[in-house]
Amino acid sequence: MTAGKHVPYDEFALFHENASEFGIPYDGPPAVRREFTGLGDGRRLSSLVWGTAAPELVFLHGGAQNAHTWDTVALALGRPLLAIDLPGHGHSDDGSKGFADVTAGAADVAAVIEELAPEARGVVGMSLGGMTALALARDFPSLVRALVLVDVTPGVNEGKSRAIANFVNGPDSFPDLDELLARTVAHNPGRSVSSLRRGILHNARQREDGSWVWRYRRTARPEGKPPRFAPLWDVVSALPCPLLLVRGLRPQSVVDDGDEAELLRRAPAARVAHVPEAGHSVQGDAPVVLARLIDEFIPPRPAED
């Protein structure tokens, strides 16, 4: 591809590809809309609202991702839900305290949930979204009636996530889509090229000169220090709602046996589900399996008589 060639993109025109790749019945475009929620300080968070009924589930993506990472899961579920672009990601404005401050992020997310999904039956959080969900459960417990952590615990640290961080902190820009796709394929050898290209179109933008940049902002951390999530173990210990950990078993996972054991020590009633065919991004590697696990753990709202 030559630099400068425009690549067309319609964020709502690719769902048929998600459905086809994973064998999900598809009888036409789903009802999905993008909403923006003001935070009172001039910033806004963006979300995808699936369905026309009140959202039953809230989804929080991982660092350097965006709300579209849940598209295939949403199609498999077929339930009304809310997928939020975390601060500094997707179409949302920056976080008030940077890229990965989960306490500030939880406050921002709470404002969106209160406006768009106040009666949601549960929150699903992957990676950074999972840590944000724990902070949300601590600071806004009425908004988290059940919690699903997708391949993350407070035991995640710089060592366990080094490969992911190296990818996220790569080049600032790419001359064309081909180069960006090649780097992404090298980082995700188990995923189809078509799914990775689709993900790039949702998570990057093309500039006027034809080059590409990621949508997420790499806001500098204080003194360059990585975030510390270990204090959130205390939230696990005190969590009043049902908890499910979905753990990928491929090498890319950031959860190890020690993390799983610690979670069960602190929350003996928690459930743990292993997904052998998935790494860290369970929603990308095994979205239909993840949808089934979510459905079983947080059943759909009973139909009115």
**Residue among 271, 295, 291 at smallest CA distance from 282:** 291
In eight-state DSSP terms, residue 55 is P
Burial class (CB in 10 A: 0-12, 13-18, 19+), 236: buried
For 254, other C-beta atoms within 10 Å of its C-beta total 23
Q: Which residues contact 45 (CB under 8 A, 6 or more apart)?
A: 36, 37, 39, 84, 85, 86, 87, 92, 93, 108, 109, 111, 112
Give Cβ neighbours of residue 286 (< 8 Å, ≥ 6 apart). 248, 275, 277, 278
Does the annotation count 253 as an active-site position? no
Other CB atoms within a 10 A radius of the CB of residue 75 amount to 22
- The catalytic position among 127, 161, 211, 253 is 127
Residue 119 and residue 107: Cα distance in Å, rounded? 17
Distance CA 211, CA 173 (A): 7
Among this protein's residues, is 151 annotated catalytic?
yes
Catalytic residue among 61, 68, 202, 280: 280
- Chain centroid to Cα 277, Å, comes to 18
178 is catalytic: no
Q: Which of 108, 151, 176, 259 is catalytic?
A: 151
Cβ atoms of 210 and 239 closer than 8 Å: no
What span, in angstroms and rounded, lies between the C-alpha atoms of 130 and 151?
8
The dihedral region occupied by 233, where left means phi > 0, alpha psi between -120 and 50, and beta the remainder, is alpha
**So which residues are the catalytic ones?**
127, 151, 280
